[in-house]
Amino acid sequence: MNLTKIIDTEYEHSAEQTHKKLKSHILSKELSKKLLETYKESIDETNRALYDETDIIFYDEDPTKWRIPLRNVMKKNLTKIEYTQNDITSFVTILAQEKDSHYGETRSYFLTEMINTHFEKTKTQEEYFLFFDEWKIAGFCSELTGATVHIFGDVDRSICYKMYSGKVIVEGNASGAAGMSMINGTLIIQGNASFCLGQDMKGGEIILKGNAKGHAAEMMRGGDITIKGNADEPICRGMREGTLKILGNCPAIDSSIEGGTVYHKEKCIYPE
């Protein structure tokens, strides 16, 4: 199926209508407490694994020293809890009241692992609906592994970072580096995207319905990006592989481009 057509038909339903269907679901106090405790305990458990009394690992210098262990702990702990897709939707409001730890985007990682864990158990083809009225989430759906996630609201930086598979639909705008280092899967953004759309993208597909601001397809290594609106600033800086298609206004191609294919509307403008 043509993914551009999907944007115009299948996913243009109202956030208000969808929210109305889901708001009747009430997350039990017991499950809410258990999930919140699991979130905090996962961070504490990672702390104990990475630190001792005299030696501190400098997590800012190498994020893999904390991100991978933290997410592994979250996944391990979440497999012990039974919850539904609607429970995930309801838990967003509760988790929004918490703060991220010094590890960075810990709330985002926890929600993503809730989805990954539930999807691995059920293999459901139904969408996971998330409403972000409480906070503009950053790093959400990073390393997603197969689910279809439908987001209502704007998202902050790095949506779908290193996404492995699945589909993410954003009914709003996306801040910087949307789809950064994507490996596979599909990201559909109904609004606009700011700087570095598809930076270091290795595979998969990004469809942007609005405009792209600032260096789209920078360091792109593979995959496909379609921008239905306009792009500004030189595009494809350091691009090596992949395909970029722009249907609106197209700026100059950065002189550092090394490979790949670029279309403006139906015309191939690189390579000439």
pLDDT band of 23, cuts 50, 70, 90: low
Over the stretch 30-57, which tens digit does the pLDDT of each residue have?
Answer: 999 999 999 999 998 888 877 654 444 5
Q: Please, what is the end-to-end C-alpha distance for the chain in angstroms?
A: 29
158 contacts 178 by C-beta, under 8 angstroms: yes
Asked if 164 and 184 count as a contact pair (C-beta separation under 8 A), the reply is yes
Cα–Cα dist 253/265, whole Å: 15
User: What is the tens place of the pLDDT at every residue in 157-211?
Assistant: 999 999 999 999 999 999 989 999 999 999 999 999 999 999 999 999 999 999 9
Counting other chains too, the contacts that 118-122 makes at CB distance below 8 Å and 24 or more residues apart are: 118/83, 118/84, 118/85, 118/88, 118/147, 119/145, 119/146, 119/147, 119/166, 120/145, 120/146, 121/79
3 state DSSP class of 67: helix
Q: Given the structure tokens 């109202």, which residue do they identify?
A: 14
Long-range residue pairs from 208-211, CB within 8 A, at least 24 positions apart, any chain: 209/7, 210/173, 211/248
DSSP 1-35: --HHHHHHTTT---HHHHHHHHTT----HHHHHHH
- pTM as predicted: 0.89
Per-residue model confidence as pLDDT tens digits over 100-115: 876 678 999 999 999 9
Please report the sign of the dihedral spanned by the C-alpha atoms of residue 79, residue 81, residue 85, residue 89. Answer: negative
Pairing of strands 145-152, 165-171: parallel
What span, in angstroms and rounded, lies between the C-alpha atoms of 204 and 185? Answer: 5
Cα-Cα-Cα-Cα dihedral sign, residues 253, 212, 176, 129: negative
